[in-house]
Amino acid sequence: MGRRRLPSYRAHIIKFTSFNILQFPFIRTAFPGVPAIFLFRDPDQVLDSYREGPPGWIGRRTEIGKTWDLAEAAVADFFQAALSIRDMHFRCMDYANLTPRVLPSLLEFLHVPVTGHEVRRMKTEFSWDAKGGIKPRLFAPAPRRYNVSPARIRDLYCRLAARSVEDW
């Protein structure tokens, strides 16, 4: 839990689950001035993923006291919450833009100093599937299945995407 295991470790990054974006003001009180990124995906991909394997919190009361019975309602709330945040240390990033090209500016925003060698090593990880398990496999985007984002969610996504482009 955040213990520095090697002398070369110079940063600690915390990943919150998606619904925690609704708690950003509270999280900010615990981590004032710390850079924060809301990483989001195209809602068609998110909804496809939720249909394939619904997250455990769908239909259940979450730790933040909210219950979503429909994935579409949850995604809309997440996107709306991110759009409402005005904080100089907060940025949005479309997962589609998370590429080796933006890695240096991302690390700079997070105040993670790295050498050129470290950046080159990090960039090689973009080729691998993060869910590959013990046997590494090359990343291949999953085909879309449904493509049925409601217009409201599509509008929120477009607004987030525009903000993301401005941020990076």
Mean of pLDDT values over 21-33 = 96
> Which tops the pLDDT comparison, 106 or 168?
106
Length of the chain: 168
The per-residue DSSP string of 3-40 comes to: ---STT---------GGGGGGHHHHHHHSTT--EEEEE
Tell me what the pLDDT averaged over the chain comes to.
90
Dihedral, 112, 116, 117, 121 alpha carbons, nearest 10? 60
pLDDT of residue 144: 62
Compute the distance between CA of residue 37 and CA of residue 82 in angstroms, rounded to an integer: 10
Categorize the per-residue pLDDT at 67 as very low, low, confident or very high, splitting at 50, 70 and 90: very high
pLDDT of residue 91: 96
CB 91 within 8 A of CB 98: no
pLDDT of residue 146: 60
Mean of pLDDT values over 45-63 = 91
Tens digit of each residue's pLDDT (9 = 90 or more) over 68-98? 999 999 999 999 999 999 999 999 999 989 9
- pTM of the shown model: 0.87
